[in-house]
């Protein structure tokens, strides 16, 4: 199993005693004004796409933004941002986040793994430690926003964030179909239990129009996320329509917002980013 | 946090000492001819839909089938099968799986939880124990097939299955786009590391035709799963096209194959089920 552990070795390089790490976590978080965790009950609802595009929209508004990818088993942030290579250490042996632009930097386990096809086969306790190191042992610097991309569900990763970043606010992404909404209610239950503030709900993949004939196609339906938000008294942050070009840009690591700035999808992300920035 | 633990209480009801459980696990597995674990690198690729529909197809072929839902944070199997209510205990205090049909029964954490909107906030070690109990403390009886629906990724749940069911074969579900294929390569790496046989790869959401004009819509692309399988020398089990009716049936807990038995999607599932049954 040796081939799996190059990423563990990378994590070890930045390991420090727990007491020192706790202090480092606090120091790092004190320099970050706002922390948002992007969650979903179900996978494949476009959580990473949402986290990446909100981060780009916030950085385009002039804010300093960091994106932290804690989806350890499926870390897609670097690919979507077109970031290649491995993270460097600075003179203090802290990891330097990768720069996407002067205003946006990113950290992901993917950027600590030399063979991208290797699986991260970690049980919960190692994940806890790794995520704490993503905060404590990274040179995030002064940020307006830290956007955290979490794996789906209510397991070790979101629990670690909730316990480590007490002022993190949750953005819950869902698609409109009932199977997804059932799981989103579990995410809401999670936030209430760990006393994490829910900033609001985003409905992604909301409606699809045929690019050929323009007719509406009922793929996942539309409106279910808004209905759930209203029923539960939560903020509804907006609908993001399905756009096949968004999938393509994510695959290719190209910024959709740069390529398609006037599209309904881009406008929806900018609108939500502005709502996030009003609490600054 | 008391409201979370009704499901833990339910799990406790069936708890037994570890040595006895190990023996019970072995006894239960000895009665099951073939075990398949349905995995995916990424969430939302239709893994549960695939597990459920392969189980139905196998049961329609006359085999005795059990489906075990180990997606503890997003257990969607009961909803997709239209199974409501809670699991019962038999006279030996073993859990009785829920019957979908005379040939198909199911066990899920969802059927042990009275409030379906509550999140299961469990760290890894409790998951390990729960999954072992899903095998040891359930009256599965004699089965031709056990189909295991796993959460996405390479974390505690698939690792527990790999360690507990040494002869389980993996079916890896992917969608055609590159972000999904990148994660599928991690699933393959996982299987190789834990020495789990890969039965093959299924490409889901492969191609979409507009139901109005019939034109092809490039949503997630098509062919990427087959290409990955061929490149890595793995069996390619087939493509499942996108059909909005499949989403609707899953939401409503209605058997798609009963309603749309002659559709390309149903035929694809039956074809794969036949391939699974050829190893009997």
How close A278 comes to chain B (CA, Å)? 30
pLDDT of the residue at A13? 47
pLDDT of the residue at B244? 85
pLDDT of the residue at A2? 28
Here the tokens at position B35 are: 């075990």
pLDDT of the residue at A217? 85
More confident position, B7 or A142: A142
E runs forming strands in chain A: 32-39, 65-69, 88-89, 95-96, 98-101, 104-108, 143-149, 169-174, 197-203, 208-209, 216-217, 236-239
H-type alpha helices, chain B: 6-13, 18-30, 47-60, 77-81, 124-136, 156-164, 178-193, 224-232, 244-252, 256-259, 264-277
| B79, B153, B218: residue with CB nearest A74 | B153
CA atoms A133, A136, A139, A140: torsion sign: positive
| A124, A153, A211: residue with CB nearest B74 | A153
- Residues B54-109 have pLDDT tens digits of 999 999 999 999 999 999 988 999 999 999 999 988 888 899 999 999 999 999 99
pLDDT of the residue at B44? 85
Here the tokens at position A13 are: 């390089």
- For residues B194 and B162, the answer to whether their CB atoms sit within 8 Å is yes
| A44, A186, A212: residue with CB nearest B45 | A44
3-state helix, strand, coil in chain A (%, to 5): 45, 20, 35
| CA-based radius of gyration for chain B | 18
Closest CA to B68 of B44, B45, B38, B33: B38
| B127, B154, B179: residue with CB nearest A119 | B154
In this prediction, residue B19 has a pLDDT band, given cuts at 50, 70 and 90, of confident
**How far is it, in rounded angstroms, from Cα B265 to Cα A160?**
40
In this prediction, residue B148 has a pLDDT band, given cuts at 50, 70 and 90, of very high
Which of the residues A128, A160, A179, A184 would you substitute to probe the B interface, choosing the one with the greatest number of B C-beta atoms within 10 Å?
A: A179
Chain B residues inside the 8 Å CB shell of A117: 182, 185-186, 188-189
pLDDT of the residue at B6? 40
Say yes or no to pLDDT of B9 above 60.
Answer: no
pLDDT of the residue at A201? 96
pLDDT above 70 covers a percentage of chain B that reads: 94
- Tell if the CB–CB gap between A178 and B152 is shorter than 8 Å: no
- Tell if the CB–CB gap between B212 and A210 is shorter than 8 Å: yes
- Tell if the CB–CB gap between B213 and A217 is shorter than 8 Å: no
Can you tell me whether residue A153 is helix, strand or coil? coil
Number of Cβ within a 10 Å radius of residue B193:
18
Q: Looking at residues B171-199, what average pLDDT do you find? A: 91
**How far is it, in rounded angstroms, from Cα A112 to Cα B196?**
26
Instruction: Give the contacts of A117 (CB within 8 A, at least 6 positions apart).
Output: B182, B185, B186, B188, B189
Closest chain B CA to residue A192: B1
Closest CA to B231 of B272, B168, B181: B181
- Tell if the CB–CB gap between A189 and B125 is shorter than 8 Å: no
Q: Looking at residues B148-165, what average pLDDT do you find? A: 93
Here the tokens at position B109 are: 């954490």
The size of chain B, in residues, is 280
Q: B95-96 and B32-39: which strand pairing?
A: unpaired
Closest CA to A71 of B187, B258, B42, B213: B42
Name the phi and psi angles at A37, rounded to 5: -110, 120
ipTM associated with this complex: 0.78
- For residues B73 and A154, the answer to whether their CB atoms sit within 8 Å is yes
Say yes or no to pLDDT of B35 above 90.
Answer: yes
**How far is it, in rounded angstroms, from Cα A81 to Cα B190?**
25
- Tell if the CB–CB gap between B251 and A194 is shorter than 8 Å: no
- Tell if the CB–CB gap between B116 and A183 is shorter than 8 Å: no
The size of chain A, in residues, is 280
Here the tokens at position A243 are: 């756009």
Q: B88-89 and B95-96: which strand pairing?
A: antiparallel
Can you tell me whether residue B24 is helix, strand or coil? helix
In this prediction, residue B37 has a pLDDT band, given cuts at 50, 70 and 90, of very high
Instruction: Give the contacts of B83 (CB within 8 A, at least 6 positions apart).
Output: B77, B98, B100, B106, B111, B253
| A41, A178, A244: residue with CB nearest B217 | A244
- Residues B186-231 have pLDDT tens digits of 999 999 999 999 999 999 998 888 889 988 887 887 888 999 999 9
Closest chain A CA to residue B193: A1
Closest chain A CA to residue B79: A179
pLDDT of the residue at B15? 58
Q: How much is the pTM?
A: 0.86
- Residues B253-264 have pLDDT tens digits of 999 999 999 999
pLDDT of the residue at A15? 58
Q: Which residues pair with A35 in a beta bridge?
A: A146
- For residues B79 and A179, the answer to whether their CB atoms sit within 8 Å is yes
How close B142 comes to chain A (CA, Å)? 31
CB-count burial class (<10 Å; 0-12, 13-18, 19+) for A120: buried
pLDDT of the residue at B121? 85
Q: Looking at residues B24-49, what average pLDDT do you find? A: 94
pLDDT of the residue at A278? 92
Per-residue pLDDT of chain A (280 residues; tens, 9 = 90+): 222 334 444 445 445 677 888 898 999 999 999 999 999 988 888 999 999 999 999 999 999 999 999 999 889 999 999 999 999 888 888 899 999 999 999 999 999 888 888 888 888 888 999 999 999 999 999 999 999 999 988 889 999 999 999 999 999 999 988 878 888 899 999 999 999 999 999 999 988 888 899 888 878 878 889 999 999 999 999 999 888 889 889 889 999 999 999 999 999 999 999 999 998 5
């Amino acid at each position: 199993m040796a081939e799996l552990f190059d990423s563990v070795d990378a994590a070890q390089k930045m390991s420090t005693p727990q007491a020192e790490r706790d202090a480092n976590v606090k120091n790092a978080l004190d320099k970050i004004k706002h922390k948002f965790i992007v969650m979903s009950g179900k996978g494949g609802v476009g959580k990473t796409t949402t986290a990446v595009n909100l981060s780009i929209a916030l950085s385009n508004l002039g804010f300093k933004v960091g994106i932290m990818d804690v989806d350890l088993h499926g870390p897609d942030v670097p690919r979507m941002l077109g970031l290649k290579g491995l993270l460097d250490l600075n003179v203090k042996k802290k990891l330097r986040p990768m720069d996407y632009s002067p205003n946006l930097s990113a950290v992901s386990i993917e950027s600590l793994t030399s063979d991208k096809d290797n699986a991260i086969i970690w049980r919960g306790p190692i994940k806890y430690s790794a995520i704490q190191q993503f905060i404590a042992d990274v040179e995030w610097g002064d940020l307006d926003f830290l956007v955290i991309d979490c794996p789906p569900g209510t397991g070790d990763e979101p629990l670690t964030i909730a316990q480590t970043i007490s002022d993190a606010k949750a953005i819950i992404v869902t698609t409109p179909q009932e199977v997804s909404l059932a799981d989103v209610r579990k995410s809401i239950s999670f936030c209430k239990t760990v006393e994490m503030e829910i900033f609001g709900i985003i409905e992604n993949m909301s409606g699809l129009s045929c690019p050929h004939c323009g007719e509406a196609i009922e793929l996942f339906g539309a409106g279910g996320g808004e209905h759930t938000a209203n029923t539960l008294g939560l903020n509804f942050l907006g609908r993001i329509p399905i756009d096949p070009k968004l999938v393509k840009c994510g695959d290719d690591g190209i910024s959709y917002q740069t390529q398609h700035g006037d599209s309904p999808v881009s406008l929806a992300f900018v609108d939500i980013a502005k709502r996030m920035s009003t609490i600054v």
